[in-house]
Structures are given as C-alpha cells and as structure tokens.
Amino acid sequence: MQFTAAQIALLLNGTIEGNADAAVTSFGKIEEAQDGQLTFLANPKYEEYLYTTQASIAIVQEGYELRQPVTPTLIRVADAYSAFAQLLRQYQEMVSQQLKGIQQPSFIAPSARIGEDVFVGAFTYIGNNVKIGANSKVYPNCFIGDNVTIGENCILHPGVKVYHDCVLSNFVVIHAGTVVGGDGFGFAPQADGSFKKVPQIGNVIIEDHVEVGANTTIDRATMGSTIIREGAKLDNLIQIAHNVEIGKSTVIAAQAGVSGSTKIGNHVLIGGQAGLVGHIQIADGSKINAQSGVSKSLKEPYSSVTGSPASDYTSALRSQAVFRNLPNLEKRIAELEKIIKQLMAEKVG
C-alpha cells in the first residue's frame, strides 16, 4: 500500500513542508529509515537523526524549528507521537480487515453464533452457545469455552484461552498465551491440615477497549465477576486474582500481581513487579512504583507510593537519601562521642 504526503497530512490534519507527492509504503525508525518509508520525531534525544535520515516523509511537532536542511518531506502536527500512533493503528486495521472466514481444521459448535466478517484461525475450538461479534479475529489455536460472549472488533491472538461463561465486550485485544477465566485460587483449610477446593462459579467480564498482554492470567470470580473496566491496559505476565475489579483506563506493567477481591480505581498506574494483597482498595489516580508491595488500602486519590511495604513516595525517597548517608553519619557520631569524652575528662580533671 502506498500513500502520499498529501493523503497523510489530510488524515492527520497536518501541514506539509516539502513535496506533497512524496510517497511511502512502510514505516521506519528515524535513525534507520530509508527512502520510501515514513518516520517521526517526538523525543528530542533523536533530533540529530532528522538531519541524516533517508526517510521520504517525517512527522514532527508544529513548533519544531529546523537547525539545518532536511531530506524528508515534513508533516507538522500538534502531537507527533499520537499522530504516528494513529497511522500505525489504521495500517494495522487495514491489514487485519483482509482476514475473514474460517480456516480448517477447526471446531465450531452448531449452537455457536458467528458474526459477519469474523476470522477463525486453524485449530481453534469454539464451544456451545458462543457468540462472536462482527469483524472479530480469533487467531489459530485459541480455545473459546461454552457460553462465552465476544463482542465486535475483538482480536484474540494465537493460543488465547477463554473459559466458559466469560464476557468480552467490543474492541478487546488479548495477546498470545493469555488465559481468561481460569479458576481463582480458592482452597478451604481443613482440620487435618489439608485443603479442599472451593468451586469457582463466577466469570470474567472485560469491557470495551481493554488490551491484555501475552501470558497474562485473569481468574474467574468465586461468585459474581472479576471485572476489567473500559480502557484498562494490562501488560504481559500479570496475575489478576478472583473477584478483582480494575477501573477505567488503569495501566498495569509486567509481572505485577493483584490478589483476590482487591478493587482498583480509575486511571491508576501500577509499575512492573508490584504486588497488591487481597481485599484492599486503591483510590483513583494512584501511582504505585515498580516492585512495591501494597499491604493496605490507598484511600487518598492521586497519591504515589513506593517500596515494600509501600509508603508515601516523597517520604520514601527522603528515607533512601538518609540511608545512603548512614556510613557518614556513623562516622560523625563516633567523632562527636570522642569529643564529648574528651570534654568530660577535662571537666573531671
């Protein structure tokens, strides 16, 4: 597919500097892009490459001032990064729209209902009473259990497993190897020291525009639902336990874990390898630093915490600064003790 600078500028509502007929067929990083490729400059660290890149078209900020002549045609926009992301999304959608139909071998239960222009990849299993909305893509080796509902324009990448009764709304993206609706970790201790499994009879509900990374696990509720609210983004290798609720537009980085029945508010940011205990609440807008251990509720909206156990971010940084100075402080205290002993000896003498 080929696009001209004029077409791209029209799509992005941008302003052209240079040859409006310059054409591109692919994308490239600014430090590596070649003739026929489109690139962008958003991070000032890469500014030097704008003057050496061989890209045919480059997207830049409206107010960016050139220090010397450049080779590519420029398209100036209000936000270069967002504009480039928009182009990538549209390109991906065009490629994805070419996938339609049902590949064989695959199994689709007679009671399943498949919408228009759905793609089902080979070796996929679709159970009884499943509903899949229009334009959704289910890539090879996926498992869709009985009574699952998948909305329109969803993408399930290879090897995704969605257990029975779970609900995915519209524009949901689930990456390879993720398991949605596995049993929650529920075992009742017995008098003899053994553990008896507590049946997990709830489900998982994933709302519109949620994206879940590869090899993440979202457990079904014991009763009721584990819920991922609209617009939330989950990275790879995350564990979401039973009956957890994650608020709108919350972002969780890789290897984080959220224990059962914890409620996370809207617009929360959780760093990689953070751990949250069960049955707590995280206020809207909270920021949890990477590798933090959150053992109690965060009740103040838009507060930041770090460390394990997690504490106020600013106070924790001050404590770290003091900790680094401990050897020097120990030395000063020893010197002060020596002076005090000398003064006491002189007083006695």
Mean pLDDT, rounded, for 327-339? 88
What are the start-end ranges of the H helices in the chain?
5-12, 80-96, 313-324, 326-348
Asked which of 21-30, 153-162, 329-338 is least confident by mean pLDDT, the reply is 329-338
Residue 313 has pLDDT above 80, yes or no: no
Domain ranges, ordered by start, for the chain: 3-87, 160-309, 324-348
- Res 95: pLDDT: 74
Share of the chain above pLDDT 70, in %: 100
Asked which of 15-29, 263-277, 327-341 is least confident by mean pLDDT, the reply is 327-341
Residue 314 has pLDDT above 90, yes or no: no
Report whether CATH 2.160.10.10 matches the domain 160-309. Answer: yes
Same-fold call for 3-87 versus 160-309: no
Answer yes or no: 267 catalytic: no
- Res 58: pLDDT: 97
Mean pLDDT, rounded, for 74-89? 94
- Res 20: pLDDT: 96
Residue 94 has pLDDT above 90, yes or no: no
Share of the chain above pLDDT 90, in %: 83
Buried b / exposed e over 265-291, threshold 16 CB at 10 Å, is bbbbbbbbebbbbeebebbebbbbbeb
Question: In the chain, how many H helices and how many E strands?
Answer: 4, 40
DSSP letter, residue 241: -
Q: How far apart are CA 94 and CA 97, in angstroms?
A: 5
Q: How far apart are CA 160 and CA 125, in angstroms?
A: 11
- Res 53: pLDDT: 97
Which listed residue (164, 242, 267, 279) is catalytic? 242
Buried b / exposed e over 226-237, threshold 16 CB at 10 Å, is bbbbbbbbbbbb
- Res 329: pLDDT: 85
- Res 249: pLDDT: 98
Phi, psi of 327 (to 5 degrees): -60, -40
Residue 349 has pLDDT above 70, yes or no: no
Arch. (CATH architecture) of 3-87: 3-Layer(aba) Sandwich (3.40)
Output the CA angle 298-301-303, nearest 5 degrees. 70
Mean pLDDT, rounded, for 144-167? 98
- Res 309: pLDDT: 81
